[in-house]
Amino acid sequence: MEMNHINGHTTHVPMTILIYGQQPLSVPWNHRLTAEMVCGTAAQHLEISCLSSQLFALHDEEQEYWLQPASRITRNMKRLRYRMRFHTSTNVNSLEPNVVKYMFEQYKSLYLEDKLFENLKLTEALGLLVLDIAREAQEENVTVSKVCRRVNFSKALPKSVESQLSFWEKRNLRRKVKKHLKSLVFDSRENLTFKIMYMISLIEEYKEFGTESFETKSRDTFVVSAARGIEKKTGIDKYETLFNFEDIIDCNIICLDIGDGEVAYQVLVSRRTAKPQTFDVSTRQKAEEIVSLLDGYYRLIVDFYHYICQDCAPPSLVTLVKNRCHGPISLTKAKQKIEVTSHQNGTYLIRKNPEDFMSYCLTVLFNGQFRNFKILIAPDGHVGLQDQPKFPSLRLFIDHYRNADNCWCFDGPLRRQVPYQPKEECLRMLDFSSIPNLPTPPEPEPAIEWFKTTDMSDRATWRLLGEGDYTAVYVGMVKKRQKKMQVAIKCPKKGAPNIIQEKFSQGVDCMATWKCPCIVSFLGIGASYTLIMEFAPYGSLEKYLRDVRAKIKLVDQIFAAVQLIDALEYLESRRIVHGNVCAHNVLVFKSIPRIRVKLGDPMLGVYYHSLATNHDIKQKRAAWTAPELHQTNSEPTLEGDKWSYGITLWEIMSCGEKPCANFTPQEIIQYYAEGRRLPRPPNCVEVIYSIMESCWLQNPASRHSCKSILRDMNSILHSSNQDVVASGPYYSYLMEERPDDDEEDRISEDNESLEDFPAVSTTEEQDNSVNAQQDSLNNGMTLPVTGAEGGLSMVQPEGPNFWEALKENVGEPELDIDTLNADKGMKFICIENIPEGKLTFHKQLGQGHFGCVFKGVLEQAQGCFRDVAVKILKKERAKEEEASFEQEILQLSRCSHKNIVKVFGYCESSTSSSLKLVMEFVAMGSLDRYMDRKYGEITHPTMFLFGQQICQGMAYLGEQRMVHRDLAARNILVSSDTEIKISDFGLARAFGEKDYYRRKDNSVLPVKWHAPESIDHGKCTTASDVWSFGVVLWEIFSYGKVPYYRYPDGREITSSLLGDELRNGARLEAPANCPRIIIEMMNDCWTYEFVNRPTFKELGNKLGNLIE
């Protein structure tokens, strides 16, 4: 049923729903009636919007518990009340008026019924009484004296207060009330004034406002609130914070057999940064009450679309997610989403009607115009347009209007859906502006651990596990905390290209921050920049599954699949792309029935994605590569990782069989492009195969988030065999500390010297592991020990913690990037402050208008050095341009992309005020000089490749809502003959809601590269960066020449007149021997109307096709 409702079936006796401040609401009962349906009807009756209705729930006052949204309403439920349950705002003014009105009625009723305070003082009660009388006088438009005369103190005060007053005290109280009323100012225009004042006064006195507590079987009390997450009460006014909502992955309700035919229930909350939290209760009803409490706050604060437990999910939300439809976003937001996605006719979006609970809204683009339609929900759950055919589901509705023969009521068929995106900001409800003390930020993550040569076994004793084209993996020993442990040691091979060394070191830097028990642990860096990782004794999951095919059980396979998606969810939460997910790169650390698997490191996957489609390495990955990534110089994506997980899940359920084993790489690519998918493996249950299919959706944006997949896999696991889960190996895996509490298990208790300890055990089990790992290399695939030929890419450095979510929403502008930390030692948040002694300077590499760049050497640990580039402001401009320089450091530090220069940190001098930016050293210099040196040598395909990489880097900046403002060949660095990096963000800015940054100063601008709107009005957008890219293309195909605009008679156009001449049609002359298609691309970039310029994604795709 696509949308639940309660109309119809009125022949049954109606249910009576209690409403604060009004007569009870009569709701027709039927066997499908759920708590969510009743809440929707009550909200519609009270004129509360769909989004704000998420704050409310149904409470059974007879049984004293909250109903979860999917609960069926039975006829024996006598006293159901519509109540505000969730409090995501401590600022009453931020709530919509009708929510404030109902909130007032609810809390006034609870106050008068003595359900809020135990010992309220008379003075506080008097203040509330005065405000209530003033409110009543204002609403009835009568004098306060008239209202005061009819006040009945037995009803106007709580029983606990009124019962203590004598007749004379009540009479004196009436005089005091009249006196206070005279001091109030009345304004008929402010209808909510006194209700808001009443609520504010009540909140000040009621310290438990906005919290809900529950008790477990052990009589422990837990308190839940939006502001402070989940806390355990440890004493009077003493609480221990357990976790916040951002930390929740999913919830499951487990039924436990406690003997004698009795059962108990356990709520298991999986968390990202710690072991799961459990709450033991006696009834399922209580378990669902707890889960619905956590789920409600999670959807309001973190992600509207993600329900953390399938059993307690709102049915209407399940329908939205299933059909990739949007929540109750505004029409303006819907139009924006369509415009950003595509200008193609038939691009459409379906959203929940923000005001009407019984309809959806369809917004569709035809011929540049938006058309809006209401999709009605009939009493039987069918959906359709007014006076048009009705359909049992939204999916059938969409399929019907995709057919051109059925869309006579539109201007054409529906073609491309714009699906919802997780964590939609406009659907979050969070306002803690009135709370002075918020949770403190987490401690910074530990630095990289460096192993000295004396802490490692002699290299001669290492055993080679295998080697690829550029890296090799060994088994050796290291000493840690005076104890020895067996490890895998990975290192680049001698003679590997510079780009391989660079990618290797970048991967090490990123992996050092990973802390997940389902990812192979990075232990540190050894001598000669070797990578030290934990050793997997059972080898790759691919071969292991084939070896244990005869005895592995379904629950074991699901265990492995859950642990793998747990790893990917961790990476997704940090916006990190893996790029090399397959069973071959999943390692087995413990055998069944305590199977433990971990995702191997990716390392060089980004590089391999960038190779040509006919390259051997890329072709061997064809079966695991999403269709949209089957192109030269592709960029791995989070969506591509989900596709790969679906294929890996197929491998797991097929016991290690190779997908598309009988197909050539080209046949695989064609097979996927035609929309065909792998068949369901034998003995694979339908529900698991449906998860595979959701990973293989053709539209990458439609693939479910890893968090949703993890929730669904956990639900399958718990429902398949709860006895096994509750008491078996999977439960013990969940209860491990996160991260790495089992590290000590890998450390030998013996304290012998490393020289006396054999490098590798010689057990048959480990020999088999080595053989399995070497066999995999013969297939040209990644090393299974640690994924020697993998790959990683960080899309956006974003940590999944509640503090960051609060900081974005509590009065701090998200895009205010000029604000610096007041603490001098933490001047730039999350950027390393490099001590002066760790940095030495060599020759000057170049200088610009504001600063100089030097080559330097950074000491990262004793004996480990790295070449870096150091940018320093010119002394005469230090004061003038320091803010802009700080801006550049902040901008670059937030970027992590293969085509954007990487920041290692900043350095402040103790003897001067100079500030230094420490970046990666790109040896081959700027693109304009490189092109000049290589005049006549560089082929057009290489130029296309450089152009495509610039587009990919700039598209990434656009996703981060940043404009560069100084895109030119001089600010693009060449790291190899096949890779460039965008640099020099001195002019870069983040843009806001209007998608542009308007220049506020008189800074020197490179006008030859700037768009007309930037020159004339200081308006900088991604579209103005596109104009600059057209000039960069001109520079590339001119082999690094300086661009000059000229009049028809050959005279050069001066900078002061350039804006006018561009408006009159002046453009750069086409370079000699430039391909016609590139000239057309330049002219597209130089379209005067910025809204008509192509996007970087479109330009990158065109250049990618040219490379082919």
580/648 Cα distance (integer angstroms) = 11
DSSP 540: B
Cα dihedral 601, 602, 603, 606, rounded to 10, equals -170
Q: Which two tokens stand for residue 699?
A: 């539209």
Q: Which two tokens stand for residue 602?
A: 């990716």
Ranges of H-type helices in 864-918: 878-893
Closest CA to 303 of 593, 75, 661, 54: 54
User: Reduced to 3 states, what is the DSSP secondary structure of residue 864?
Assistant: strand
Report whether 275 contacts 735 (CB < 8 A): yes
Widest pairwise Cα distance in the chain: 105
Sign of dihedral through CA atoms 599, 604, 610, 615? negative
324/347 Cα distance (integer angstroms) = 14
888/600 Cα distance (integer angstroms) = 35
Residue 1040's φ and ψ, nearest 5 degrees, are 85, 15
Look at the block and give the residue holding tokens 């999986």: 270
The alpha carbon of 107 is separated from its chain's Cα centroid by a whole number of angstroms, namely: 36
Report whether 661 contacts 707 (CB < 8 A): no
Report whether 963 contacts 957 (CB < 8 A): yes
**CB atoms near residue 1005 (< 10 Å):** 17
Sequence-distant (≥ 6) Cβ neighbours of residue 367 within 8 angstroms: 345, 411
Contacts 24+ apart (CB under 8 A), 1005-1009: 1006/966, 1006/968, 1007/1055, 1007/1058, 1007/1059, 1008/1043, 1008/1044, 1008/1045, 1008/1055, 1008/1058, 1009/966, 1009/967, 1009/968, 1009/1043
**CB atoms near residue 1058 (< 10 Å):** 17
C-alpha to C-alpha distances, 296 to 38, 68, 196, 490, 1000, nearest whole angstrom:
16, 9, 25, 46, 43
> Three-class SS string for 186-227?
CCCCCCCHHHHHHHHHHHHHCCCCCEEEEECCCCCEEEEECC
Q: Which two tokens stand for residue 749?
A: 């208790």
478/450 Cα distance (integer angstroms) = 11
The alpha carbon of 845 is separated from its chain's Cα centroid by a whole number of angstroms, namely: 39
Sign of dihedral through CA atoms 900, 903, 908, 912? negative
Is 1019 annotated for ligand binding?
Answer: no
Binding site membership for ATP: which residues? 871
Specify binding-site residues: 871
